[in-house]
Chain A
Amino acid sequence: MAASILLSPAFLISAATTLAAGGYAYAYLPVQMHKAYRQSLLTLATAVETKDKTSVGHGGRVAALVVATAKIMRISRKQLSKMEYAAFLQDLGNVKVPHGILNTADALTHEEFDIVKAHTSTGADIVEQIGFLKDISPIIRYHHEFWNGAGYPDGMKGEQIPLGSRIIAVCTAYDAMTHEKSYRAALGEDEAVKIIRADAGIKYDPAVVDAFLKALKKIAGEERPVS
């Protein structure tokens, strides 16, 4: 008798629907929320990018490369999403860099270049004050450091530089080179790869460059499926 009521359609349908409702609340809603959060961060980052017309979309594109590279390097999901957010917001500090400097086609003076360099710390300082974004502050602060210590702001070297920053450094350079800037035309993809490969071990972490090149190949493979 007990078994038969548990097998009755009313019971089964009710149980299934209850489970579905629970699954919706537990699995679906948080995923939607996460998507909304991610989208909002990207939107705010893009708002800053409009200051320099040639950089609109840069953060989003770099983030896609960062995620692809980080996946090749088998980085945990949690770290990966931090790196993605940091890539979105890497140039947040440009809010403090005057419009004229960002858009000039002329060579920057020493002072102007210092102002540009400060965007790393400005951006890091902003997110540092926000509880849920605090973690990504160092990734933003050091995304212009070089593997050999010749970068900015602190001249950090090798593995002292957070891994996220090392990955962003490669991806951001590639994206910048392959897109037009106010002071130069876009380079071809092969050209950009050549330059990045040459700078492995100098500007960039060689392991990251390896993974990045693999990621590029993988992306190219996905874009041009075997016919």
Chain B
Amino acid sequence: MRPLAKAFVYYKNLTLLVGLAIFVWAVAHMGQELPHLPELALFFLIILVGELLPVTIPGSNIDVTVTIPAIMSLFLSHGSPAALTVAPLSIIVGVMIVHRKQNFRWLVDMSSYNTAMCTIPIGVASWVYYFVGGHTIEASPDVAVASMFIPLFIAIIASTVANAIIFTTGLSLNSGDPWRLSFFQSLRWFAPNFIVTAPSGILFAMLYKQFGFYGVLMMIVPFIVGRQALNMYSEQMAAYMETVTTLGSYMQHYHAYTKGHLERVASMSDKIAKQMGLPYQSLMFIREAGLLHDIGKVGVSEEILDNTGKLSDDDWNTIRQHPARGAEILAQMKHFERIVPWVRGHHERPDGKGYPDGLSANDLSIEAAVIAVADSFDAMVGGPDEETQRVYRVPKTKGQGIDELRYGSGTQFDPRVVKAFMQVMDREEIENGRQHTS
């Protein structure tokens, strides 16, 4: 694993400290809730179950847990010290169980950081809630809606923003992503989840106040149902993306050299992107982009694509339009929007001499640059079988291909990508060598 950036380590420790301070404060104020220990234990279990059964939002690395409504109802019915004591304990146990296979030091590190990251937004939410005049729920029918909903929504917004800030700052210190961009991205992911779950938090709190233990049981049903719905959605989304990507790549297989080429570009792009530590959102889609980068060639005449002689200006123009054409196709396909600029940019060059837009290094997405390197290398070197090599040029050896990339680094290819490519090649060389000797 990559060594963590120094700034990130400081940041992590600071987060931990603040989280711990909130926790200590909460425990110290737990006094009057002590008689309710059995109920609190029940909440502990529900939150734990929520943590153990997360659902990953398709196309992202964000897990949705059914924990949020449970914490909300705990807070509304027992107050903030109880929520801030029970929730962190439950989450830390949950994280430890989920990652139990990791080594112990990492586990303690990871779970305490995660817990602190959750504790702060809960702390912010409860402070804001009281500040704007909210109060904990009573078992009486005259609970005014305004006294609960409005403060709760303000608290949720504050907590969502706090959550996104903490999450994004950690992410950008660690990976070097631009802060502002990731912030809005993560806000977009967190916000719907928090806002949609708020009413269920109130509902559960009221059921619990009214029916005690049975009220808690009633909470579990919607939890399971919601989880089921999200799971179904994830599976459908994965199946849909997979089907469409496969169809898109199979459609291109009837050009002799394309079969294999697409697979190799996809897998090489994936390796380079991982080597460069690109954000998770990019890693998720880089394979799809590799498989679909030439989809704009579907529909272009074979006589032009396979021309061994000199192309006319018209034909050359047609070829130069294929990235734009591919981008147009993908733009019409929902959930593939992210890869549109990557595909459009895969023949651009940092020196601005590429096509179709002649973009220069600053305007070019890094993912496009990754695909460009993987694509060019494979076009030069080709696959293991002769029939998959291109008709219009003699294939180069691996060494020659690497030399070409090195030669074009900075003008034709993004130097960062070339560097990562070399590292991937070196590593594979070593791994292959190991296989041969063992």
Contact = CB atoms under 8 A, between A and B. Distances in A.
A133 interface: yes
B251 A92 contact: yes
Contact of B333 (A9, A39, A96, A99): A39
A37 B229 contact: no
A103 B244 CA distance: 27
A92 B145 CA distance: 58
Interface stretch (A14-22, A139-147, A214-222): A14-22
A26 B228 CA distance: 9
A204 to B, nearest CB: 29
A99 B148 CA distance: 67
B52 interface: no
Contact of A25 (B144, B233, B336): B233
Interface in A101-124: 122
Interface string A15-57: 1011001101110011001011101110110011111000000
* Interface of chain B: mostly helix, strand, loop or mixed: helix
Nearest to B304: A99
Nearest to A23: B229
A10 interface: yes
Contacts of A9: 145
Interface stretch (B104-112, B235-243, B398-406): B235-243
A36 B334 contact: yes
A47 B299 contact: yes
Contact of B244 (A7, A17, A37): A37
Interface in A1-17: 1-2, 4-11, 13-15, 17
A115 to B, nearest CB: 12
Interface size class of A (residues with CB under 8 A): 35 or more
B233 A30 contact: yes
Given A18-B222, A36-B334, A99-B302, A8 B243 contact: no
A150 interface: no
Interface stretch (B4-12, B165-173, B197-205, B358-366): B197-205
Given A10-B143, A43-B329, A18 B199 contact: yes
B237 A33 contact: yes
B250 A100 contact: no
B251 A44 contact: yes
Given A5-B139, A10-B145, A25-B229, A44 B329 contact: yes
Interface string B300-319: 11110000000000000000
A1 B141 contact: yes
* Interface of chain A: mostly helix, strand, loop or mixed: helix
B32 interface: no
A5 B149 contact: no
Nearest to A49: B299
A183 interface: no
A22 B298 CA distance: 41
A25 B230 contact: yes
Contacts of A36: 240, 333-335
A108 to B, nearest CB: 17
B387 interface: no
A96 B254 contact: yes
Contacts of B253: 126
A11 B237 contact: no
A47 B233 CA distance: 28
A40 B336 contact: yes
A126 B251 CA distance: 7
Given A122-B254, A130-B250, A133-B247, A37 B240 contact: yes
Given A26-B229, A37-B240, A127-B247, A14 B203 contact: yes
Contacts of A33: 233, 236-237, 240
B199 A5 contact: no
Given A5-B139, A13-B145, A95-B251, A22 B301 contact: no
Contacts of A14: 199-200, 202-203, 206
A76 interface: no
Contacts of A133: 243, 247
Contacts of B332: 39-40, 43
B246 interface: yes
Most A C-beta atoms less than 10 A away, residue of B200, B206, B225, B251: B251
Contacts of B250: 126, 129-130
A51 B336 contact: no
Given A22-B222, A26-B229, A50-B299, A4 B141 contact: yes
Nearest to B209: A5
Given A2-B210, A40-B333, A48-B298, 11 more contacts: A5-B209, A10-B202, A14-B206, A25-B226, A25-B230, A29-B229, A30-B233, A33-B233, A43-B329, A130-B246, A130-B247
Interface of B: 139-145, 148-149, 196-197, 199-200, 202-203, 206, 209-211, 222, 225-226, 229-230, 232-233, 236-237, 239-240, 243-244, 246-248, 250-254, 295, 298-303, 329, 332-336
20 contacts: A10-B202, A17-B200, A21-B200, A24-B196, A25-B226, A29-B233, A33-B233, A33-B240, A36-B240, A40-B240, A40-B332, A41-B244, A43-B332, A44-B248, A51-B298, A95-B251, A98-B301, A99-B303, A126-B247, A130-B243
